[in-house]
Amino acid sequence: MKKVCYNFSFLFFLILLMCISDPVSANSPIEVLVDGDEIKYTTSPAIINNKLMAPVRKTAETMGLKVEWSEQNQMVSIIGIGKTVKIMVDSKEAFINRKQIQLEAAPTIVNGQTMIPLRFLSEEFGYLVEWNPKKNTVALFSSIEGQNNDNAINVEIPVLMYHSLIDGLNTSLSVDPERFREQMVALKNRGYNTITDFDLINFLEKGSPLPDNPILITFDDGYKSNYSEVYPVLKELGMKATIYVITSRIFEDVTILPGESEKITWQDAREMMGTMLIQSHTWDSHKMVMSATGAKRGMIASPTAINGNIESQQEYETRIYKDLVQSKKAIEENLGYEVVSIAYPYGDYSQVTINMALNAGYKMGFAVRDGVVNKEDHLFKLDRIQVYGSYSGEELINVIEGAN
């Protein structure tokens, strides 16, 4: 990010220098390229009050972002992976997710087009900027490595799978809090850098850069200990993780369902923003059921017997699709960011599961198989390394590096 900011500073220093020594006319065409392709504007970008302003919709959509306009509020919403930016015409106040910030220049309307600072838009969505004063061209690149990220295919990302933290209990599904801290400190001391699901999908889809020694830490089910025990440790160490929640079990306030362990609340999830990301573990399909073949399978992996009758294929597909849509919608409405990932309950899935997840708007899915993730993997068949409570920090490092 420092490199990106440096490039922006250099860009606008050059623009200001040109304004002093050889002013650019307000009518001079400024070309904007995104990954080498020129944006064809109906209203050209322009320097307004020493700020390079560009039409927001055409620019953002070319960058792969979604744009929504509220006529009533004169507000533009720019929606990307993990981030929603809201800006208002003639106001320097803006919101990134739910955090209020101040813009350097207020958006304005020119020829019916909402113009916003190009620097702000590009910086917030991770683009590198290069300014060519001779050609009056601004080039945006979605990867710091440009389009020649040949080494990306060789990057291998461990994805760790945890469940809950319980005092004195070290099993396949639980880790003692002190043992967990030992494992996290070992990862940090070894030079691992935690990433989010958004970082991972951007890398897998577009080759966007990752930090050295990237690692994704995940927790299934959404147990309360993810908030009370995991969150403080990761926040202290400057690390991040993802919780895949069974969304029907998450409420605004503490609500413990019969036969269930206590889960996090939406309030907890909002407090953990920036450290713990929430993604899907289905709405209400975390169950093993009898399949049409008589074998026990995960509920989203196969048609099942409902009230003594086996579902038809259409009933099965409709059930899965509705579940995944409902889960995704609940998280997005409560937390304000996009859901891109699903962790399959019990790691069990089928091609139909993948098809319905794609139709519901998910971008990747995680199973339960030891291994690492790389660019050649199927986006909906990603591996995770199960972490046992018996592992010391050193043993965990050996397990991870043995999987590479």
pLDDT (average), residues 143-168: 73
Return the CATH superfamily for domain 151-403.
Glycoside hydrolase/deacetylase (3.20.20.370)
Res. 146: pLDDT tops 80? no
Q: What is the pLDDT of residue 82?
A: 62
Q: What is the pLDDT of residue 404?
A: 60
Res. 22: pLDDT tops 50? no
Q: What is the pLDDT of residue 6?
A: 42
Task: Look at 24 and 42; give whichever has higher pLDDT.
Answer: 42
C-alpha 177: how far from chain center: 27
Percent of the chain residues past pLDDT 70, beyond the cut = 88
Q: What is the pLDDT of residues 226-284, one digit of tens each?
A: 999 999 999 999 999 999 999 999 999 888 888 889 999 999 999 999 999 999 999 99
- In 71-223, beta strands by DSSP E: 75-80, 83-88, 93-96, 99-102, 108-110, 113-117, 128-132, 137-141, 157-162, 164-165, 174-175, 193-194, 214-221
Contact 93, 102 (CB under 8 A): yes
Confidence of residue 288 (pLDDT cuts 50, 70, 90): confident
Residue 336: C-alpha distances to residues 80, 82, 88, 100, 277 (Å) = 11, 8, 18, 14, 11
Contact 385, 325 (CB under 8 A): no
Count the neighbouring beta carbons within 10 Å of the beta carbon of residue 1. 8
Contact 223, 276 (CB under 8 A): no
Res. 67: pLDDT tops 80? yes
Contact 240, 214 (CB under 8 A): no
pLDDT (average), residues 101-122: 90
Q: What is the pLDDT of residue 298?
A: 86
The per-residue DSSP string of 217-283 comes to: EEEEE-BTHIIIIIHHHHHHHT--EEEEE-GGG--SS----TT---B--HHHHHHTTTTEEEEES-S
Sequence ranges of the domains in the chain = 2-67+105-141, 151-403
Confidence of residue 403 (pLDDT cuts 50, 70, 90): low
Q: What is the pLDDT of residue 63?
A: 87
Count the neighbouring beta carbons within 10 Å of the beta carbon of residue 83. 17
Q: What is the pLDDT of residues 341-353, one digit of tens each?
A: 999 999 899 999 9
Q: What is the pLDDT of residue 3?
A: 42
Task: Compute the mean pLDDT over every residue in the chain, rounded to the nearest whole number.
Answer: 86
Q: What is the pLDDT of residue 395?
A: 96
Q: What is the pLDDT of residue 125?
A: 84
